[in-house]
Structure 1
Amino acid sequence: MKRILFIDRDGTLIKEAPPTYQIDSFEKLEFYPGMFKYMSAIAAELDYELIMVSNQDGLGTPDFPEDTFWPVQNFVTKSLENEGIHFSAFHFDRTFAKDNAPTRKPNAGMLTGYMHNAAYDIENSFVIGDRITDVQLAKNMGCKAIWLNNDASLGASEIKSGIDALRPFIALETISWKDIYEFLKLGLRQVQHNRNTNETKIHVELNVDGGGHASIHTGIGFFDHMLEQIARHGKMDLTIETKGDLHIDEHHTIEDTGLALGEAFAKALADKRGMERYGFALPMDEADAKVLIDFGGRNWLVWNAEFKREKVGEMPTEMFHHFFKSFSDAAKCNLNIECDGTNEHHKIEAIFKAFAKAIRMAVKRDPLSNYLPSTKGVL
């Protein structure tokens, strides 16, 4: 099945032209920075069909006649084709926002022929655009959006009111075509993973290339807080839902969550080509934490941290070693963790933040490299 990039025109391929935002003359035409370079690379290297989708309010009316639109559009099309960028179809809606026509973005009326066609892989396609309506279009179509958020003043009110609900449908938020190319080239390291035993039921959603969003519910407040540090400081999206036998104690919940998270990383990082593999980092107030990590395919944990308190919040401090040991075993990585300090909360939080930073460094990839970071030829 063919994947598609549904690409908005104004604000994405070419710059917007306030106050009317209508590109009805060559004087208003300016191509988006870096667009030609990276769109050419996308067209040459990646297997996506390109479809242009754009709202052109009132096209064909006296205020926006067609004879001022098509010369500019034809020039844009020819300029793209000269750089090897060929769109297979163009869809322009002419209605006004007040009409809420089924063909007007974010409604998907113009694109139903692709949505109900077995030849197309809509779920793994993307809408690329600069407005929240482009993200809404992706949601309505059942795919994800690449949001080229280049001007926060555009649609500011709808951004504030609607962005949180639409976050799950944003695969990438950026202002750079370079970022878009790298994202599409490397692919999305995203997995959903379930681990169910007689003692725990755990659901993990992990997007290694996310934006730092977390939804953590393990039943242990301080543990949730620490896991949120992994998402925030590792700049990955992480959902963990753990239902464990807390009526007995915390052991199974914490240990199995570490195993489930490690298993999710093992799945997401299956292809390590172009990846840094190693990472480290971090001070926090008086605490000094160091975390060394190697996603080299072998598990090992070196743990040099001691705690004087039995618990922090409702979490036994002895269980932090178990959590990282479980993660190391399941993710098949080496972990070397050291920490000194006087405040137990600070020490633990510093370890988790350093752990997140270490992961972030290790999973970083170079889109121009097919290098496998191992002399063995396999990881």
Structure 2
Amino acid sequence: MSPRGGLDGDPGTGFLQEIKDAVSVRTALLVLGVLAVQLAFIASYIGAFHNPKPHEIPIAVTVAVPAAQAKAEAEADPARASAEQKQMEAATDQAVQRLKALPGKPLKPSSSDSEADALARIKDRGVDGALIINPQGTEDKLLVASGAGASLSQALEEIMVKVEGAEKRTFKVVDVVPDAEGDARGLSAFYLVVGWCVGGYLCASALAISAGAKPANPARAVIRLGAMAVYAVVAGLLGAVIAGPVLGALPGSVMALWGLGALLVFAVGAITLAFQGLAGIVGIGLAILLVVVLGNPSAGGAYPYPLLPGFWRHIGPILPPGAGTFAARSIAYFKGNGAGGAFLTLAGWAVGAAAVAIVMSLLRQDKKELQAEAEEQRS
């Protein structure tokens, strides 16, 4: 600092005044906001991932002999086969109760009539695995679906090692919905969704600050939403093509993934525009807080919902990244089964956020008109 005064050498400028000139109150508040988002990011990601534990993983349970054997026994002695079927149903119920009573409730078991029924429930995304108990031997079968998340399949195996070991039984693992060769640990769907989300809020942010921090009128808000929709269609298609035909990371329908991507990108973009309409440029930070800080770690990517702590497990399915990840995996590995709820969630965000963005532009216009009328009356 110059002995003649402030940092610029002006004797009329003090050091504190120069700080005020360099960093305004508004800037200081924005910096504090950035710090808050940064700390929230750290807390959210570490909180979600630092200690994954299984919690009520949906699993089907059945005590059953092979279908061909059951058919042959039924044809040979119907009465005996019927009695044995009742015994197996009772044994299935007992097995379900044993699994329900496990400490910490790692599983959410439910009974199935047969192995075929259990398999169908996995492919419909009703359960994440199935335990097929062999009543005629000591080796059972565990059906898993690594396409729904490799860490989830591994968690089921680890639980069953303890459960079956305590019963002096063994089991073999059958992956009935394996992940694709180019989809390491089933994470490609999650990263595709993250990329779509990033594009959504970055495009919306660029549109929002292109002519001021807030929409000047409803027409501008509608135009921005229209531009967002066009971008979403293009981004959805290109993302689906890269993940599918180009890299071979995700199987499944490119058209379905395109539709998902377009809806997801538009939903995230509309959310960003809605927050921007509510809070100005700060709204962009709020959108990042919702989608990135809260949405990404709870999306079920590295650790599917049953392995996440309670807070993240509950918010994940209702936020865009979580709904998008679940739907993308359903399209890639389960023929779209179970994806309807996720699509409805994304559609709700898209419609609701677009409505908020338009309403905020209308309110802003009304406020300007009232201010103009007041000025006219005073003059």
- Note whether the superposition's TM-score is higher than 0.5: no
Larger RCO of the pair (alpha carbons < 8 Å, separation 6+): 2
TM-score by length of 1: 0.22
Question: Which one has a larger percent strand, Structure 1 or Structure 2?
Answer: 1
Bigger Rg, which one: 2
Larger helix proportion of the pair = 2
Using structure 2 for the length normalisation, give the TM-score.
0.22
